[in-house]
Every structure is written in structure tokens, then in C-alpha cells.
Structure 1
Amino acid sequence: MTMNSAVAEPRGTTREPVLSLKGVSKGFGAVRALTDINLDIYPGEVVAIVGDNGAGKSTLVKILAGVHPQDSGTISFDGVEVSIQTPTASRALGIATVFQDLALCDNLDVVSNLFLGREITRGPSLDEEEMEQRAWSLLRQLSAKIPSVRIAVASLSGGQRQTVAIARSLIGEPSVVILDEPTAALGVAQTAEVLNLVERLRERGLGVLLISHNMADVQAVADRVVVLRLGRNNGDFHVADVSYEEIISAITGATDNVVTRRASAHASAAPASPPESASAPSAAAHAAVAPSEGRLTEPLPDNSTGIDEEID
């Protein structure tokens, strides 16, 4: 079985991707971090990027965030080829990135963190009232559970801090939001809170790129799963059409295993002609499955024991 058997095709044929990567490669000296990566992100879609450690996920995020320029390949935004040389260029383009460390100032309150570097002023002074109103409006749109926008970020839970980081990314009205391991080290309730935020981002029509190791989270909110393995594309699946085992197989490269061999054996054993009459026993009736091998063995002899009769 190959990973091409469940490769995802765009279901909205009239839609154009808001962000598209074609043949993107990146190396660090002799190390090839990414090789010929292709990726499309559509408006109102959550695309999960999964892969083992060293698969190239972080490098891909940093290229889109403007931290590292790609060595080759093209990046298109709204159908126009672009160059993302700096984080400022990435934000100006409409790409917001929420890194795993969140980059929040613990000693500042929620409002100050949301508008840090983009403060609203009235003359020589900060317009605190306007920023507070906008902060509440944005948090309500995300159905966020924040007790007060004037509470210090240090007093918030992990899920609430992630909420503030995601809300801050929306200040500039982006078209694409990249979330790097948003549920890492969170509890069950906090994880559910963050996944609800991802749903709200999709409802707002944004393209969401979700980096995650948690397959349960991926299958809960993602529309498509893109697998990276050793810096290369190794699968692009619609979540509704792929199993957990197929995703893990693509991540690990274990496409030839007990599960896939058993599936192939059953497929090859399916009758290609009309079924035989009831009086004629079929070979499949005598076939035995060897659990340790995961495939069909030869039919047993007619003595039905599999043991040669002793010859006197």
C-alpha cells in the first residue's frame, strides 16, 4: 500500500488557496531540512502538519514566519508569488504565527499584551479605553474564557494564555494563522478550550495551519492532514477519509506492516468470479490466518489436520 491511495484532492474546485508552497527546500550546511515541499491552505480550512521529530515542521513554520528564507521553490499568497524575508514582511502579508513559547509578557495585563507594539493612541497618550473595548470584543468573538482583560497574564492558566496569544495574532486581521503545538503541556479542559478557539478561527474564514503531535487533537479539528517525513511530503489526507493507522504509517514510514499486509491479503483473496455452488467448498473456507504473520497461509491438506498421516 502506498500513501497515494488516500491523497487528498481539493473538494472546493472553484476555490483558490490563500497560501501555496511549491517545491520549497531549505538546507543548513550539509543538512537538508526540507526538500521539495508542496502545501496548499484554503480559506476556512484547518490543515494539520504532523511528523516525527526532525521531520521539518519547525523549519516550515519559520520559513512562513519570515525567520528563515527558503533556498528554492516559490510561495504564493492569494495567487501572487511573494518573498517572505522578515517576520515583519510575514505579518504585513497576512500571516500570523503563534509560537509554542507564546512570547507573552507575564508582568503585563491582557490588554497590554494584545496591543504590544500596536498600541492605540489619542494624541500623546495611550487610548486605554479604546484598547480595552477592542480587547473584550475580540475575546467575545473567540468565545474566550478570560475573567478580566486587566488581569496579569502571569495569573492565567495555560489555556487562557494560549487564548491571549491567539487573540493577539488576530489584531492585524490576518488571512492565515499558524499555531505551533498549541495544546502541548495542557490539561484536558484547557486543550478543549484551545480546540474551540481553532474552530472559531475556521468560522471566521481564516486558513489555519496547526502543528501538532497529538493525533486526537488533529482528528478533532483538522480538515486535512499533511505528513512530513525526513523533510519531504509523505501524505496529504482528508481527515474524514483516513484512519489513525494510516496517518501513523505515513509518519513512521511503516507502510509495510502487519495491518497493511493483512488488508492486502484480504483484498487479493476476494473472489474475482461469481461464487461457487454451495456443494463445492472454496479454498477460502480452508484458509487459515496466521496472526503472527498478518497474512493468509496455504490451504490445509484434505485431512484437515495439517499433519501428514503416518505411513505404516
Structure 2
Amino acid sequence: MPEPPAAPPLHPLLRLTGIGKSFLGVRVLADVDLDVRPGEVHAVVGENGAGKSTLMKIISGVYVPDGGTVELDGGAVSFRSPRDAQRAGIGIIHQEFNLLPERTVAENVFLGHEPVRRGLVDRRAMHERTAELLAAAGETSFDPAVKVGRLGVAQQQVVEIVKALALDARLLIMDEPTAALADHEVELLYALVRRLQQRGIGLLYVSHRLTEVFDLSDRITVLKDGRRVTTLDTAGTTADQLVKHMVGRELAGYFPPKAVPGDLGAVRLSVHNGSNHKLRGVDVWLRAGEILGIGGLQGSGRSALARALFGADPFTTGTVELDGAPVQLRSPRAAVRAGIAYVTEDRKGEGIVGGQSVLDNALLAGRAVFPVWRGRGPRTVKVRELLAAVEVHTAGSGGEDQEIRFLSGGNQQKVVLARWLALAPKILLFDEPTRGIDVGAKSAIHDLVRKLARDGAAVLMISSELPELLGMSDRIVVMRDGAVAGELPAGAGEEDVVGLATGALTVEEVTA
């Protein structure tokens, strides 16, 4: 019997050809081609500043391209506003949700296009339709009448997606969709993405997390310096190949070599039976030259431990010793004076002052704690040298006087690192040090963190990314429900960390 003819290839839902965009004479995108097929997850990756956000804003109608064509279902379109894109069936899910917390789920979903009956909003129809959309998205854990502010982050993300579906979206753009999600919530997003695929919805998936890109996408487009480098079939691509396309060079392994046990120093920091309103009987110790990884689910006590050590939420019981001597860490000022630095997970909210310059941000901790730092003198020169040493790159000609909010996430993080390095801390607490940072900047920060440890600093590093946690840590302490669930040596596997974090495995089972 002759074989049946092959199914014809799916025509693109969206096709971009030769897209270009400039701002104030600076070329941001040049001749970018991209297409998305129905039911496809097409990932877009690249370093910060590669042009990903600008391209997504063109597709969603925020920006009008300077050149090139946009086609939808084979016909040329021109979006002059986000509303134009929405009417054409394009929705975008931002990292920071655009929801009204004091309104109900149904009110948020149908905001601006509420069903009307006899001149009044038909609330019954609005709730019924919202319930149908939530069920189609696989979400039945909350009611359309609940206020959005009472929902968790993952549930709010579902509401954002359902908002787009209520407008009959055929193409969804997801911009760093897991940035604010806990580990266990990521699987829920995976299931939702696959459900959307089954409905024939095309997805553009923008993420720095390569694990997600390989787990979810069918194809990957790499942008660099505003140009399309290549488009690859995910199934035939390795992580090494993808990284080389993204950064323009090979990274010699993702992570620097670990510490040699014989090179580690004495115990620099130890906590015995440390407790507060979020922690229960924590015992932790850390040696000079060591990177101690802290794993666990969000809310497990990871960040609470870092904040307690930094005096932001002090221990109420237990003892803390620094170089063998008891210390009282009752405030961040006391911690800084004791030689402890803290890089918070909330870079924008707690780590930087967006309206201040790069230099002023780098001087912030020294000026706040040590009167001798105030004014501009030799210490300013030192900070300038550190900014150069960690390779902070500013946009345009602003240099150190440029407001830090205009820098990429990776460069903002380097400024925060320079701030603390200027104080020569003995102990560095890193909470999600590479969150939202592209792969090239991640590699640079990994190298810098390892160099600090080699130079004698004691490093405590919290990370939700298991490959980073395993690749950087000399030991791993796993937290669960505010307590230490167990300790793992270098060479532990992802299943060991997850097992301890969820309670599926005991320490004895992991170490057997």
C-alpha cells in the first residue's frame, strides 16, 4: 500500500520579516525575522539588551517598527496600540502582573469589555464565562467572585492568562513567566502551557532559564545585539550550543571549579538553635573559603535565614558566633559592622535606588554605616575601581553618573556586588544572586562569587535554580518549614534536594 501523503506544514500564525527599531538614533533591532505556528511554543532567548523586550512590544502593539512587515494569518497588519494587537488576538503576560487586587477575578478578566444586559453589566454572565475560562485553563481552586489580592502568585498568573483568553487570544507572549513563581508552582505553569498548545494557541516564551526553554519549546530563536542570530529546533539543540549562540563564545563549563577541602579555612560563622517567628531551631555553620548553598521551596525559611543573619529579622533565641566569638546581630548596621554583606533577592525593591546614579548606589552601604565614607575621597576612587573590575557596563555615555534603573539586571547586580566588595566583608549572603539575569552575566557573577570564596570569604548562597545550587555549592543545606531538613555534600543530585525540600525523602534515605 502506498503511504498516505505527509500532512502539510502548518502555516505561521505570526510572521515578522525584516523588523527594525531605533530610539534616538540608537539601533535596537535590525532585520529581525521570526514566525510562530499554531500550537507551537517558540522560545526567544538572548542576553540582556539583545532586543527581546523591544521585539515583544512591537508584536503586542506598544511600539511601531521603523521597518519590516508583520503578518497575521498571512495578511499584513499594522498595530498602532496594544488594543489593536488585542483585537487581532495577541495577548502578553508580563513579569509584573497588571491586575486590580481589590476587584474580583471576573471583574479583572472582563475589565473594559464587560457583558451587558439591558444597559447594565451582566454579572451572572461575567462570572459564568470566567468560570468556563478558568476550567479550560485547568484552574478550579478559586472562584470568579474572589478578590485577586487574596490569590497566590501562580493563581494571579492564571488570571492574567485567562484575561487574554477572554479576548479570544490566538497568540500569547509570556515574558519571564516563572520569575515570581515558587518551584512547585512552575509545574502548574508547564501544565497550563501544554493545555494552551492543545487548543492551538501559539506561544512566544521569553526566559533566561534554559531548563524551561528546553522543557517547553519546539523552536528557539536567539537574539544578540538586536539581530537574529539563528532559529533552532529544540529537539536537535544542546545547552552548550545554545549558550554559544547567545554569548558569542563558549563558556568553559557553566560553573567554576569547586573548593578543594584542604583549602578551606576555619569555621567563620555558626548558628546554634537559631529561631524567630519564621525559623525553628536552625543549626548552620560556614567555613572561610566555602560556598554553602541553601535550598528549599519558597517559604521554607531560606530567605528568613539570610535576613536573620543580616539582622533584618533577628534571631530571638539561639546563639550566633563569628570566628568563634558570640555576636549579637540585632540590626543590619550591626551585621555590616561585623563584616557581613547581604545581596537581597528583591534587587529592584531592596537592592538599588533606581533614581540614584550608579556611583551613589555603589557607595550606599558605606555611607549609611560608616561616617568616614561620607563625601568623596579615596573610598570613592576604590569604588570606581571595583565598578571597573566587575565590568559594569552603562548604556550610552552616562557612565557612573547614569541612573541605575537604566542598566540591565546583570549590571545592576554587579553594582550591588561592588557596593559590598568595597567594605571587604568576611561573610557574603547571596539570595537569588542571578535571578532575571542572562546567561553571560550569570557566568561572570558565578566566577566572581567563587573568586571571593577562594580569597577567603565565607559565602552563603540561596538559589531556586537547582543546576546553579548544585553547580556552585561546596555543601548544601536544605530548608523545610522554617527548619533544616538535611545537609548534602558536593555531588548531590537534584532528586536529593527536591526530596528533602518536599519531605518525600529523609536525610537517612538520601545519605544511605
Q: Is contact 2:91-2:172 (8 Å) kept?
A: yes
How many angstroms does 1:44 deviate by? 0.8
CA contact (8 A) 2:240 2:250 kept: no
Q: Deviations over 1:50-107 (max 9, x none)?
A: 1111010110011011111000111111111111111111111111112222200011
Partner of 1:40: 35
Alignment match, 2:157: 162
In the alignment, residue 101 of structure 1 is paired with which amino acid?
A: E
**Partner Cα distance (1:81, 1:113) in 2:** 31
**What corresponds to 1:240 in structure 2?**
235
Structure 1, unmatched stretches of 5+, are 1-10, 260-312
- The percent of aligned pairs where both chains have the same amino acid is 36
| SS of residue paired to 2:130 | helix
Aligned to 1:60: 55
Instruction: Say how many residue pairs are matched.
Output: 249
After superposition, the Cα gap between the structure-2 partners of 1:188 and 1:20, relative to the gap in structure 1 and judged at 3 Å, is same
Residue in 1 that maps onto 2:416: none
Distance 1:256 1:52, change over 3 A: closer
Q: Which residue of 2 aligns with 1:103?
A: 98
Does 1:144 pair with 2:144? Answer: no
101, 106, 114: which is aligned to 2:109? 114
**What corresponds to 1:79 in structure 2?**
74
Q: Secondary structure at the match of 1:132?
A: helix
User: Contact (CA 8 Å) 2:16, 2:71: kept in 1 or not?
Assistant: yes
Cα contact 1:145–1:160 (8 A) shared by 2: no
The structure with the largest alpha-carbon Rg is 1
Cα deviation per residue 1:137-179 (whole Å; 9 max; x = unaligned)? Answer: 1111111243222111111111111000001101111221111
Q: Please state whether the residue corresponding to 2:166 is helix, strand or coil.
A: coil
The unaligned stretches of length 5 or more in structure 2 are 1-5, 255-512
Moved more, 34-43 or 84-93: 84-93
1:191 to 2:186 alignment: yes
Q: How big is the shift at 1:217?
A: 1.2
Among 79, 88, 91, the residue aligned to 1:93: 88
Using the alignment, how far apart are the partners of 2:141 and 2:58 within structure 1? 32
- Aligned with 1:88: secondary structure? helix
The 3-state SS of whatever aligns with 2:61 is: coil
CA contact (8 A) 1:63 1:69 kept: yes
**Which letter maps to 2:77?**
V
How far apart, CA to CA, are the structure 2 residues paired with 1:157 and 1:48? 26
Task: Give the 4+ runs in structure 1 shifted more than 6 A.
Answer: 256-259
* TM-score, normalised with respect to structure 1: 0.76
Matches of 2:118 and 2:207 in 1, distance apart?
44
Q: Deviations over 1:166-213 (max 9, x none)?
A: 011011112211111111121111111112111111110011111111
Q: Deviations over 1:187-246 (max 9, x none)?
A: 111111112111111110011111111111111111111111111111211111101111
Instruction: State the distance in 2 between where 1:74 and 1:99 align.
Output: 24
- Against the structure 1 CA distance between its residues 211 and 258, is the aligned structure 2 distance closer, same or farther, given a 3 Å change threshold? closer
In 2: Cα distance, 1:51 partner to 1:123 partner: 51
Counterparts of 1:22-37 in structure 2, within 5 Å, are: 22-37=17-32
The one-letter code matched in structure 2 to 1:237 is L
What is the aligned partner in structure 2 of residue 271 from structure 1? none
Task: Identify which of 218, 224, 231 aligns with 2:226.
Answer: 231
Structure 2 Cα separation of the partners of residues 258 and 113 of structure 1: 45
Question: Structure with the greater relative contact order (CA < 8 A, sep ≥ 6): 1 or 2?
Answer: 1
Match of 2:177 among 182, 185, 194: 182
Q: In structure 2, do the counterparts of structure 1 residues 248 and 198 end up closer, same or farther at CA, with 3 Å as the change threshold?
A: same
**Structure 1's 88 and 107: CA in aligned 2 closer, same or farther, altered over 3 A?**
same
**2:247 is aligned with 1:252:** yes
Shift of 1:124: 2.5
SS in 2 for 1:73: strand
Q: Is the 8 A contact 1:66 1:84 kept in 2?
A: yes
